[in-house]
Amino acid sequence: MTHPTSHMEARITLALSFLGLLLGIFVSVGVLAGDDQGRVNLLFLLLLFAFLPVLSLLLSLVLLLMKQNGSAALLVSLPFWPKEFLQAQMNIELGNQRRSWLFFESQVLSLAFAAGSIIVFIALLLGTDVNFVWRSTLLSATDLLPILQLISIPWGFWIDAQPSLDLLQQSQNSRITGGASTYSENWWQFVLAAQLTYNLIPRAVLLGLARWHYKNKTRLSSQFERGDTTVNKRRLADPETLATIVYTRPDSYQLLDWSNAPEHCRRFITQSFGKPVDLSSLSANSDVHSLRHSAELISQVVLVRSWEPPMGELKDVMQLLDSKTLNFILPLDWDGISIKAANNTHLQEWQRFAASLSNSLVEWKVLQPGEHS
Helix-strand-coil percent breakdown of the chain, rounded to 5?
55, 10, 30
Enter the DSSP assignment of 48: I
Distance CA 196, CA 56 (A): 15
What DSSP line would sit under 319-352, residue for residue? HHH--SSEEEEEEEEE-SS-EEPPPHHHHHHHHH
Domain check: are 53 and 179 in the same one?
yes
Domain check: are 144 and 285 in the same one?
no
- Which stretch of DSSP H or E encloses residue 13? helix 4-32
Instruction: Calculate the CA 125 to chain-centre distance.
Output: 33
In a domain, 96, yes or no: yes
**How far are the Cα atoms of 310, 352, 354, 355 from residue 235, in angstroms, in the given order?**
15, 8, 11, 8
**How far are the Cα atoms of 44, 165, 333 from residue 142, in angstroms, in the given order?**
18, 7, 64
Q: What is the pLDDT, as a whole number, of residue 64? A: 67
Domain check: are 212 and 311 in the same one?
no
In a domain, 150, yes or no: yes
Residues whose CB is less than 8 angstroms from the CB of residue 129 and which lie 6 or more positions away in sequence, other chains included = 38, 185
**How far are the Cα atoms of 41, 48, 113, 164 from residue 44, in angstroms, in the given order?**
5, 6, 17, 19
**Cα angle at 204 between 49 and 86, to 5 degrees?**
95
Determine the residue type at 289: H
Domain's final residue, options 189, 224, 259: 224
Q: What is the pLDDT, as a whole number, of residue 94? A: 46
- Which of the residues in the chain have pLDDT under 70? 1-8, 36, 38, 63-64, 66-99, 174-185, 218-240, 249-250, 288-297, 322-325, 360, 371-373
Domain check: are 204 and 275 in the same one?
no
Q: Are 231 and 358 in contact (CB under 8 A)?
A: no
Q: What is the pLDDT, as a whole number, of residue 118? A: 92
Q: What is the pLDDT, as a whole number, of residue 25? A: 92
Domain check: are 58 and 101 in the same one?
yes
Domain check: are 133 and 270 in the same one?
no
The boundaries of the domain holding residue 290 are 245-367
Domain check: are 32 and 154 in the same one?
yes
> Which pLDDT tens digit goes with each residue over 70-80?
555 555 555 55
Domain check: are 276 and 193 in the same one?
no
In a domain, 315, yes or no: yes
Enter the DSSP assignment of 134: B
> Domain of 331: which CATH number?
3.40.50
Q: Rg of the Cα trace of the chain?
A: 27
Domain's final residue, options 224, 253, 286: 224
Q: What is the pLDDT, as a whole number, of residue 359? A: 72
> Which pLDDT tens digit goes with each residue over 238-270?
545 788 888 876 678 888 999 888 888 988 898
Domain's final residue, options 167, 194, 224: 224
Distance CA 121, CA 188 (A): 9
Q: What is the pLDDT, as a whole number, of residue 358? A: 77
In a domain, 229, yes or no: no
Domain check: are 168 and 277 in the same one?
no
Domain check: are 209 and 301 in the same one?
no
Distance CA 167, CA 370 (A): 77
**Residue 231 burial by CB count (10 A; 0-12/13-18/19+): exposed, middle or buried?**
exposed
Domain check: are 210 and 311 in the same one?
no
Per the document, the length of the chain is 373
Coil, strand, or helix at residue 220? Answer: helix
* HSE of 312, CA atoms in CB hemisphere, 13 A: 15
Q: How many domains does the chain have?
A: 2
Domain check: are 267 and 213 in the same one?
no
